[in-house]
Amino acid sequence: MLTDKLRAKYRVNVTTECWEFIGSVTNTGYGRVWDTQAKRPDWAHRVFYRALVGPISPSMHIDHLCRNRRCVNPSHLEQVTPAENHRRSGSDEATRQRHRAQTHCKRGHPLSGVNLRIDRRGCRVCKECLQMHVAQSRARNPGAQAEYSRRCYNKKKNKR
């Protein structure tokens, strides 16, 4: 059963029939609400699903059949395994194709030649941005590198 507070948190899109969540939304596009039963924040679509359909198995995900992350319409939500949810998203191949097509990073540096690094996951990384990130990190915490080196040295020394 939906509380009055939750009823006020969505708007029906007449074209798609999605119940679009209008409360707090994360930068990934999913709605967040306070789950009064669990006494913790939770995803809006999961709270609506539990309230209107029933319990969610701990090992299951809730898939948006409409592909609208803000949608909390229970008829657009389905309980599926994590593997099925990932398979339906199509994110693996779509992400790989998008990254292969990229010629420049988000800051405009070329993703080729000496500026290109392939990380251990096989992702293409801009070396200029990486160096800038490391420099900013060191500026924020100047003693971190010395502390890290000291700990590593002590570990090696103790293994001997």
Average pLDDT of the residues in 51-66:
92
Q: Provide DSSP, 94-149.
A: HHHHHHHH--B-TTS-BSSGGGEEE-TTS-EEEHHHHHHHHHHHHHH-TTHHHHHH
Own/partner pairs for 145-148, CB < 8 Å, 24+ apart?
none
Domain ranges of the chain: 4-88, 91-159
Helix (H/G/I), strand (E/B), else coil: 25: strand
Q: What is the predicted pLDDT for the residue at 11?
A: 93
Question: Is the separation of the CB atoms in 32 and 13 below 8 Å?
Answer: no
Average pLDDT of the residues of the chain: 85
Q: How would CATH label the architecture of 4-88? A: Alpha-Beta Complex (3.90)
Asked whether the predicted pLDDT for residue 20 surpasses 90, the reply is yes
* Helix H or strand E segment including 5: helix 4-7
Share of the chain above pLDDT 90, in %: 39
Q: What is the pTM of this model?
A: 0.58
Residue range 67-99, pLDDT digits in tens: 899 999 999 999 999 888 888 776 666 666 776
Gap between the Cα atoms of 127 and 143, Å rounded: 23
